[in-house]
Structure 1
Amino acid sequence: MTTAKDIMHPGAQWLPAHETLDRAAQMMREMNVGALPIADSNERLMGILTDRDIVVGCVAMGHDPAQTTAGEMAHGTPRWIDSSADIEEVLREMQSHQIRRLPVIEKKRLIGMISEADLARHLSEPQLATWVEKVYAHG
């Protein structure tokens, strides 16, 4: 059985909620990623911050990324998957919530992220086509 841990990109890092968006952008550049999970002071998942969130939700709104925190950008119920979940559970979670990145948790700790690129490497063409159709469907 292929699990979330098998297909994830390891080494994901939390972005503390108190960090500013300019620092988040620097971390993304250093790590060569487009998203970071946001954690509260107890290292509990609050959401995911994307590079697009910084641009559209902060900069384009005329806000200062040096004065806006990641926690201010965390909206909605964060989604995640246990490291032992099988690939079908991963796909269901991502499809049902139309999300493109999914944090992987093991023993209450972040251990990795599953992204579109990870799915592309591990899914069959029909599985990937179904995922794309369901995640990118509008309506």
Structure 2
Amino acid sequence: MTKAKDIMHPGAQWITRDETLSRAAQVMEMLDVGALPVSDENSRLCGIVTDRDIVVKCLARGRDPAKVTAGELCEGTPRWIDADADVQEVLNEMERHRIRRLPVVENKRLVGMISEADVVRQLPDDQVAEFTSAIYSSPTST
């Protein structure tokens, strides 16, 4: 059985909610990633900030990334998955919430991230097709 830890990109790092977006961008560049989990003062996941967030929610609105914090951009309930979760649980979580990146946690510690690229690289074509269809399809009314 394939688990989250089998398909994740290991060694993920997070930044605190008090870090500026300038610092977030520097860490993203250093790690060659497009998203960083954000932690609160208790070292708990409180959100994710992406390179797109920095551009659209900060720069495009004329805000200063040296003054805006990562915590100001975190929205909604953060999603994560346990490292021992079955890959189907990973796909279900990403599909249900239409998210493209999912932090992986083990013993309450961030151990990795799963992105669309990880899913595509690691899973069979039929699972990839179902996943991309769910993520990229228009939301339906219920």
TM norm structure 1: 0.98
CA RMSD of aligned residues (A): 0.6
CA deviation digits over 1:25-64, x for unaligned, max 9?
A: 0110010000000000111001110000000000001100
For residue 104 of structure 1, give the secondary structure of its aligned residue in structure 2.
Answer: strand
Deviation at 1:126, TM superposition (A): 1.2
User: d(CA) in 1 for partners of 2:83 and 2:118?
Assistant: 14
| Structure 1 residues 2-21: aligned runs within 5 Å | 2-21=2-21
Deviation at 1:128, TM superposition (A): 0.3
Give the match for residue 120 of structure 1.
120
Give the match for residue 94 of structure 1.
94
User: d(CA) in 1 for partners of 2:56 and 2:114?
Assistant: 23
| Structure 1 residues 16-55: aligned runs within 5 Å | 16-55=16-55
User: d(CA) in 2 for partners of 1:56 and 1:107?
Assistant: 34
Matched, 1:59 2:53: no
Instruction: Give % identity.
Output: 62
Deviation at 1:138, TM superposition (A): 1.5
Q: Which ranges in structure 1 are unaligned for 5 or more consecutive residues?
A: none
CA deviation digits over 1:87-139, x for unaligned, max 9?
A: 00000000000000000000100000000111111111111011001011122
TM norm structure 2: 0.96
Deviation at 1:77, TM superposition (A): 0.3
Amino acid at match of 1:53: D
User: d(CA) in 1 for partners of 2:95 and 2:80?
Assistant: 13
